[in-house]
Amino acid sequence: MADEVKNFKVTIDNISIDVAPGTTILNAARMIGGDVTPPAMCYYSKLQGSGGKCRTCLVEVAAGSTADPRPMPKLVASCRTTVMDGMIVKNITSDKVIDARNGVVEFLLINHPLDCPICDQAGECHLQDLGYDHGKESTRYKFARRTFVREDIGPYIQLHMTRCILCYRCTYVADQITNKRVHGVVDRGDHAAISTYISKAIDNDFSGNMIDVCPVGALTDKTFRFKNRVWFTKPVDAHRNCETPGCCGKATLWLRGDEVFRVTARKDQWGEVQSYDGKTGWICNTCRFDKKKTSDWIVEGLTSISRHSVIGANKYKTLEMPHETVQKVMHGVRPKLLMDIHNVSEVNNPNIHLSELERPAKGTDFKKASQHPVNEDKAEQEAQFGKTEK
């Protein structure tokens, strides 16, 4: 009988957790959740070989392990560093990490255009979130920024290379879920860019998934460009019986009324495509681009969106009424029995409950003025001096 594998204990920002050997620091932090989790722009748990390129997930290892408690001399990429038993990691509790992350974000924004007001990725852009958390109001970069001409790399996808941060996610998608990759990174250094082979277009059945994995607005859906803002749409979970091999048939529909503006794969809290039965929930181009009617889908309900996201604003599954506390405090006495407004007030008609009216209140819903006692002093003044005109 094989010996039971012993879990490693790792402490991240003073929070301890037991994880299996081989777990990276980033995935251990994701198990804890919250602000303890480092950001990641290039790492994607569903894509083999991803990570180690953007450096936004740098952390400080204050103690390597119980056997060797010495700290690591430099900050390490949490997406590529596995945990050791007794390891102590600092993320948001380290000034070195915060300073390094500020520098990495500044570097990523050197050539990135500030076109969030016209970018379709605005509202769900990871670089936009990093810019708000770690960006600066001004730039120290005085040279001309690199620019590229927008390029159609297929019938449904437009590549805006000026926004690209070279995370390589789209190339991994093409390598691992399609049977013919026709694009990649060309040139080197400052001239490096994502592009296709000469006279080649991306036309495989799962090319649309490159849009979902792109953390910025470099790859955009041509069928959705400039049509609407994501926070004005309503995301709902839906599914259909798709006959394309490899397609899970489960997607998120982005609605405005009954109109489907776009279809995307379902994503988890880390912005990655969800998995079902141990398989990543990629969707085919037929589901993504051709099925743009609600009648093509079986709608399950409103997609769960973090309340901190601008997409989740003013979107509620059901009407949630606040709990009535007065009745509990008064030991079961209903609040309206504490004071009957019909008996106290001499204005309302006792036979009409204003709260039950399905229309605005009218003058006939109240007592007539003749039914109210007239003030004798006021009547005497009106008789002596006449009615004052307004």
**What are 223-255's pLDDT values in tens digits?**
999 999 999 999 999 999 998 898 999 999 999
Chain region(s) in the chain for CATH 3.10.20.740 = 8-107
Phi-psi region of 174 (alpha: psi -120 to 50; beta: other; left: phi over 0): alpha
pLDDT, greater one: 323 or 239: 239
Average model confidence (pLDDT) for the chain? Answer: 83
Q: Which DSSP letter does residue 375 get?
A: P
Q: Enter the tokens of residue 69.
A: 């408690």
What is the crossing angle of helices 126-134 and 95-108, to 10°? 130
| CATH topology classification for 8-107 | Ubiquitin-like (UB roll) (3.10.20)
Instruction: Say if residues 348 and 367 touch (Cβ distance below 8 Å).
Output: yes
Q: Where in the chain is the domain with CATH 3.30.70.20?
A: 114-138+146-221
Hey, what are 14's tokens? 């003073």
pTM for the full predicted model: 0.74
User: What tens digit of pLDDT does each residue of 334-345 get?
Assistant: 665 545 555 555
Cβ count within 10 A of residue 77: 22
* CA gap 103, 134 in Å, rounded: 8
Model pLDDT, residue 197: 59
Q: What is the percent of the chain with per-residue pLDDT over 70, rounded to a whole number?
A: 83
Q: What is the pLDDT of residue 139?
A: 83
> How many Cα neighbours within 13 Å face the side chain of 149?
2
Domain 114-138+146-221 has CATH 3.30.70.20: yes
pLDDT recorded at residue 372? 47
Least confident among 151-155, 227-231, 296-300: 151-155
